[in-house]
Amino acid sequence: MSNTTKLQDFLGGMRAISPLIAAVIPIGLVFGAVAATKGLSPVETGLMSALVFAGGSQFVAMDIWSHPASWTGVGFAALLVNIRHVLMSASLGTKMSGFTPPTRYLSMLFLADEIWAMAEFRAKVARLTPAWFAGLVAPFYLAWVFSGLAGAALGAFLGDPVVLGLDFTFPAVFIVLVMGFWKGPETGAVLLASGAAAVATQHFVPGVWYIAAGAGAGLAAAMLTGKSQDAEVTP
Amino acid sequence: MTVDLATLVAILAMAAATVLTRLSGLVLIRHVSLEGSRRKAIESIPPAVLMAVVAPTAFATGIAETLACAVTAFAALRLPMLVSVALGVACVAILRALGL
């Protein structure tokens, strides 16, 4: 691939992720502000955003944060919240034929939900290239780290994020992404199974098991409907 | 501007757990073949995962959150991503101000 096409691909990725960057900045500010109330210094907050780079698990860690910090507690919570990344990377991995194996593993380190969703959308219409993927990652990563830092530094000056509704940015982004994957009734079955299992698990089981439970139930629903369709084709 | 040792260890534990989940999917697909109904199941992973994260907020937090989620979802059918998100946030702020 020539350097010009690489640059075009990189810019294409940047264009695709730009609305999500605008959406992630308030989420990062809220995260930083919450971290400051939990006693994390701006440097610690920035380190967490840079090294973990997974918003959901970072918010959960702030929920259960203690002093001194319990590495087993937040480590296990991160594993549980992010177990969905196993499915995400398995799914995206099948669409990375244009990547060398080292690039594939390197790219997966940046598999945040938003980046992954945009890469999945792209793979439906065109061949996913490393340059296009890098165009998603670079600005989004910087926006996440620096908005977290800014939130931690500004802290109390931001006002109450709940009153402003800014805490809702995170779920709103997820809803928009879900709607982008709608493909018809079989998607409805997946969403129904996933949503019902997640709500029920969250109600009855303490902690964050609901994410793994919902994802598993949605996957099971897809396998069941997929099997029955296979059976219709080959009686 | 200090970094507490216990905090640093906690951050590293979170990072290690996250890296493990992000790489293991790639390792998994090297050993499991993905054809037929499995292929279909793979394609259902994105909505299943995203829905699981958002469902408790959408259905079990409060009226304001549920309505705002519905507004966001309908907006996303027609409007650009960022506009839909902004509408959802505005909606939840207004409903909370009204005391819902």
pLDDT at res. B50? 86
- Chain A nearest-CA residue for B32: A90
pLDDT at res. A142? 98
ipTM surpassing 0.90: no
From residue A169, alpha-carbon distances to A41, A177, A188, B45, B74 in Å are 24, 12, 24, 22, 16
pLDDT beyond 60 at A182: yes
* Rounded distance between C-alpha atoms, residue A145 and residue A29, angstroms: 10
What token pair was written down for B45?
């992973």
Which of A132, A75, A109 is CA-nearest to residue B14?
Answer: A75
- A110-114, A169-173, B30-34, B94-98: which has the minimum mean pLDDT? B30-34
pLDDT at res. A233? 46
* Rounded distance between C-alpha atoms, residue A79 and residue A54, angstroms: 11
pLDDT digits (tens, 9 = 90+) for A3-51: 889 999 999 999 999 999 998 998 898 899 889 888 899 999 999 999 9
Closest CB to B15 among A52, A91, A111:
A52
pLDDT at res. A229? 60
Q: Do B47 and A78 touch (CB under 8 A)?
A: no
Q: Do A168 and B65 touch (CB under 8 A)?
A: yes
- Chain A nearest-CA residue for B88: A172
Q: Mean per-residue pLDDT for B47-69? A: 92
Query: Minimal Cα–Cα distance from A3 to chain B, Å?
Result: 28
pLDDT beyond 80 at A234: no
Element (H, E) at B2: none
What token pair was written down for A183?
């493909």
Residue type, A200: A
Residue type, A118: M
pLDDT at res. A80? 83
Element (H, E) at A218: helix A209-233
Query: Minimal Cα–Cα distance from A216 to chain B, Å?
Result: 8
* Rounded distance between C-alpha atoms, residue A133 and residue A99, angstroms: 10
Give the orientation angle of helix A209-233 with respect to helix A71-82, to 10 degrees. Answer: 20
* Rounded distance between C-alpha atoms, residue A42 and residue A193, angstroms: 40
